[in-house]
Amino acid sequence: MAGNFDPLTADLTQHQTALMTKQISAVELAKVFLHRAQAHTELNAFLHINEAATVAQASAADALISTLGSASRSPEIGHLQPLHGVPIGHKDIFVTRDWITTAGSKMLQNYASPFDATVVEKLGLGQAGMVTLGKLNCDEFAMGSSNENSAFGAVQNPWDKTRIPGGSSGGSAAAVAAGLVPCATGTDTGGSLRQPAAMCGITAIKPTYGRVSRYGMIAFASSLDQGGPMARSAKDCALLLNAMCGYDEKDSTSAQVAHEDYTAKICEVPADAKKPLAGLRVGIPLQFWGEKTVAALGENGLQATNGVLLACWNAVQQLQKLGATLVDVSLPRIGLSVPAYYVIAPAEASSNLSRFDGVRYGHRAKNYTDLASMISNTRAEGFGAEVQRRILTGTYVLCHGYYDAYYLQAQRVRRLIAQDFQAALQSCDVLAGPVAPTTAWKIGAKNNDPVAMYLEDIYTLGVSLAGLPALSAPCGFSDGMPVGLQLIANHYKEGNLLNVAHQYQTATDWHLRRPEGF
Ligand code: GLN
């Protein structure tokens, strides 16, 4: 290794420059991170490492770099993709051929997928050219807000190892924050990219529903699930999203809407460099801020702590300094997003998870007397408590006699919440608020109270129900733990979100802070 390249502080572009200028090889770079992962197993961020598969990918990446180098990048051979050779970790909800895929569940403990998810394929060799470091821990079937629902144990938050990293993409967030991976994939059904990013002090974007293919992403709630990138900065997320997104005929709800070049988009600034956000209207939903939150959200909400609100408000003021103007807006029915989501998501989960019956793949109970007992014993053994709770809730709200009262009603509420967002976005370009009402709590603190856990999702669920894109960017600390600012935009406006966050991160350094000891 030569030069002054430091894999722990470098952004993804610097990673590739180091590879192209031969300061480090892709194999060496991957090994730096694998060794870090092995040195920090206490975090429990990784579920599966397959060093031979990683080295094979990295060697192939190196071979291409050498070919292009010796051919002096002839046009016939083409240029390398901007992430070629750069390592990445995948949430263990994306299926991978060369790594076991468990979705954090005993049900799939030894599941070897015959194919790679579209996202994994797009980011991997032959396309973006990234090198897979392994699979990252998550809540079982992505159900949870703390990563404690993983059948393979809780993940520690690198900022304070007695605390949760957030969930469900908790392993991904902790691994990025601790520098065990330079970037990772995650998924977001009701906040699982944004909330762990906020709690671990990193950046993540949940794209518009349909923007990133769901093919090979183990399904939780199909009308909400969306994959996305997690990294240190908006600039890195822009590069990753460019490589991940796009229409996929294998996903029936994949959007056939052209996407912008997000790296070009983040560089778009008005002539006045001091006011890069001039003309930007930032909506301040009254229900997201301060005392009014309690009244507006009632028993369905949880007021953000003062520390969280203060950090977020400082960030909003920074946006103003960069030229943005503030607009008061209202999301009058946002408080209903918790009950609506916790009807719709379990309903879809109960249907999606019916495939885990012990017949074709996954866990099968050893003791049974007939087909029915084989299926029920398999499911009772294979699924953890929270997943069983969701399946029961979902089956209940879908059953004849309750369907209209719960499921249909929740769908109506979903529509109203989406309308509220559209009305609010008439008068502004982005909405700003916290990602989560609190910072990361102690491991075990909310385990016995599922409703307390659900209420933590109040700031993220509405966005998911409305299918909108939203970004989480580090914006300070409260009691020593990271706080995330949430920026929300209209459908397919990921570029705007990344641009605003990039301008913010150019003016501040919260995203560069690192936990001690990492
Ligand atoms: N915390 C939410 C839940 O438990 C969201 C999870 C997610 O986005 N995957 O359902």
Look at 307 and 412; give whichever has higher pLDDT: 412
pLDDT band at 269 (very low <50, low <70, confident <90, very high): confident
Average pLDDT, the chain: 94
Q: Give pLDDT, residue 292.
A: 52
Summarised one tens digit per residue, pLDDT across range 34-47 is 999 999 999 999 99
pLDDT at 273 over 50: yes
Which has more confidence, 362 or 301? 362
pLDDT above 90 as % of the chain: 90
Whole-number Å distance between alpha carbons of 456 and 132? 32
Work out the pLDDT band at 77, boundaries 50, 70, 90: very low
pLDDT of residue 301: 56
For residue 191, which atom of ligand 1 is closest to its CA?
8
Spatial contact of 172 and 185, defined as CB atoms under 8 Å apart: yes
Mean pLDDT of the region 304-329: 94
pLDDT band at 143 (very low <50, low <70, confident <90, very high): very high
Residue 387 Cβ contacting ligand 1 at under 6 Å: no
Does residue 336 line the site of ligand 1, with CB under 6 A?
A: no
pLDDT at 1 over 60: no
Q: How far apart are CA 308 and CA 434, in angstroms?
A: 7
User: Is it the case that residue 75 has pLDDT exceeding 60?
Assistant: no
**According to the model, what pLDDT value does residue 205 have?**
98
Q: pLDDT at residue 310 above 80? A: yes
At 16 the pLDDT is: 93
pTM given for the model: 0.96
Tokens of 165: 């990293």
Which atom of ligand 1 lies nearest, measured to the CA of 345? 10
292 vs 183 pLDDT, higher one: 183
Report pLDDT for 64: 93
Please choose from 91, 143, 185, 343 the residue to mutate so as to test ligand 1's pocket, defined by most ligand atoms within 8 A of CB: 143
Q: Establish whether residue 145 lines the binding site of ligand 1, counting it when its CB lies within 6 angstroms of any ligand atom.
A: yes
Beta-sheet pairing, 203-206 with 226-231:
antiparallel
CB 122 within 8 A of CB 250: no
Over the stretch 284-299, which tens digit does the pLDDT of each residue have?
A: 999 998 655 544 555 5
**Residue 245 pLDDT:** 97
Region 101-113 average pLDDT: 97
Q: Which atom of ligand 1 is nearest to the CA of 144?
A: 4
Residue 384 CA neighbour count, 13 Å, CB half: 22
**pLDDT at 294 (0 to 100):** 45
pLDDT of 290 reads 64
Q: Which residue has the higher pLDDT, 294 or 331?
A: 331
**What pLDDT sits at residue 233?**
98
The Cβ of residue 321 has, within 10 Å, a number of other Cβ atoms equal to 12
Q: Which residues of 7-29 are buried (b: 16+ CB within 10 A; e: fewer)?
A: beebbbebbbebbeeebbbbbeb
Using pLDDT thresholds of 50, 70 and 90, give the confidence band for residue 26: very high
Type of residue found at 23 = Q
Asked if the model's pLDDT at residue 156 lies above 50, the reply is yes
Average pLDDT on 198-211 reads 98
Instruction: Please report the pLDDT score of residue 112 as a whole number.
Output: 96
Is the beta carbon of 195 within 6 A of some atom in ligand 1?
Answer: no
What is the full DSSP assignment across 310-337? HHHHHHHHHHHHTT-EEEEE--TTGGGH
pLDDT tier for residue 305 given thresholds of 50, 70 and 90: confident
For the chain, the distance separating the N- and C-terminal CA atoms, rounded to the nearest angstrom, is 21
pLDDT (tens digit per residue) in 333-360? 999 999 999 999 999 999 999 999 999 8
Token duo for residue 435: 């990602």
Residues 425-436, mean pLDDT to the nearest whole number: 98
CA-to-CA distance for 465 and 414, rounded, in angstroms?
6
Q: Is 457 in the pocket of ligand 1 (CB under 6 A)?
A: yes
Measured in Å, residue 504 CA sits from the centre of ligand 1 at 27
Mean pLDDT of 505-517: 97
Mean pLDDT of 477-483: 97
